[in-house]
Amino acid sequence: MTFKKTSPHPIHARTKNTKNTKKQSELAFRLLCRRHGATCAYTPMMHARLFAEAPSYRAEQFSSTPADRPLMAQFCGNDPATVLAAARILESRGGVDAVDLNLGCPQRIARRGRYGAFLMDEPSLVSAVVATLAAHLSIKVTAKMRIFDDLEQTLAFARMLEASGASLVAVHGRTRDAKDAAATRADWAAIAAVKRALRVPVLANGDVRCLGSAARCLEATGCDGVLSAIPLLEDPALFSEGRGEAGCRVRPVRLLREYAALAAEHATPPRMVRGHAFRMLGDWLGEHTDRRDVLNGVDRSRRRPGEGGGGGGGEEEGAAAAAAAEEGVEGAEASAAGDAAAKDDADGEVSRRRAVLFDGSGLLTPAKVEAVAEELLDRIEKSGRGFPDPVVTERAALRAAAAEAAKRAAIEEADREAAALASIGAGFAA
């Protein structure tokens, strides 16, 4: 499988598992991204040994449809035979276009397992894995890497991947230690150097947060396509054209309804649905904590006054008393206007949503997620705002206070040391 600049924006969705996005990237979400501009997708990073040995793990981690193509199966592992065994299972099914070796995961679990970005410390072993896959698979083999602090080391590693049989190399423009994407800009110049050094297609990853940045990345790097991971989790349509809503936090709320329908169609586990819902709703859940509780399956009626999430009060009573306002239904206005039919419809919508949201099961379902999205959209439209009000959580406030206290303590300690040194100096002078 090759990636060529056959369109102005050859763009690809990368869905991955990290510390904060564990098991969020599955079939329903990939299909959503494809609907809105992504031209290719990766599976989550799958553990090669578990995939090869455990049928239950395979069933949970991998599912696809004919519409889910082209598709790259992403594995982590450090034993050539084991990774090959896992890849052959998917090859035999005919459901993927390439097998990818993940060399980009920087998380502690990757360090413990000796895979991901930490396997880049063993280039000879990486070469053996890639070469084994390339020699024994009929489908293409690709690899995803990070950069090193030293550019020449980065180029040597990329050339090794190509020489070992990789048909495509994806490059994340950050080092293994630069895990905070918000604090570290991706090095597009380093990615461009890799592109110039290789003959196979190269994909760029890092700081691709919208269609505009995708175009800028392609121009800066000369690459054959771009990847996005966490920004795509927050806005699955960031690769879409002509929407005129770049940066607007309302669009993901609308998309959540679409995702919920796909999740229901493809029997997506609740934990995956919840993970995507929290990513897509973002800061809106900080402002609307009652909807956050619904997604978490929290029964607020069982909370004691003063507990997190808005305090006490029965959920049923509170929702019943404020149905018109909270559900975004203008029943009172309809009644005042004498529009009895409209009021009946509105009351029916309130009842429908309440039946879905507060069914007493405590289970998160796609229908419940869709109802939460609809509710939030009603509230957002009434507020006239496109962005949520900034909310500082209690935990964040405590962290900020602790940091400020530590800063003051450090300044005081420095002042004491300076005073002591000055006193010693004065004694010698005397």
- So what's the pLDDT on residue 352? 52
Asked whether residue 326 carries a pLDDT value surpassing 90, the answer given is no
- Among residues 281, 219, 223, the alpha carbon closest in space to that of 253 is found at 281
Q: pLDDT tens-digit profile of 127-181? A: 999 999 999 999 999 999 999 999 999 999 999 999 999 999 999 999 999 877 7
Tell me which of 76, 105, 217, 223 is the catalytic residue: 105
Quick one: tokens of 342? 């409209």
C-alpha 250/C-alpha 252 separation (Å) is 6
Dihedral over alpha carbons 74, 57, 30, 162 (to 10 degrees): 10
Mean pLDDT across the stretch 80-95? 95
DSSP 331: H
- Name the CATH superfamily housing domain 11-247: Aldolase class I (3.20.20.70)
Question: For the segment 399-426, what is each residue's pLDDT rounded down to a tens digit?
Answer: 778 888 888 888 888 888 888 877 776 6
Q: What is the pLDDT of residue 387?
A: 84
Active site residue 217: no
Q: Which of 349, 347, 348 is nearest to 371 (CA)?
A: 349
Chain centroid to CA 73:
17
pLDDT of residue 219: 97
Tokens 């990939």 map to which residue?
30
Q: Is the pLDDT of residue 20 over 50?
A: no
CB 319 within 8 A of CB 299: no
Higher-confidence residue: 340 or 41? Answer: 41
Condensed to tens digits (0 to 9), the pLDDT of residues 232-279 reads 999 999 998 754 444 467 999 999 999 999 999 998 989 899 999 999
> What phi and psi, each to the nearest 5 degrees, are found at residue 181?
-65, -30
In terms of C-beta distances under 8 Å and separation of at least 24 residues, what long-range contacts does 285-290 make, across chains too? 286/388, 286/391, 286/393, 287/388, 287/389, 287/391, 288/376, 288/379, 290/326
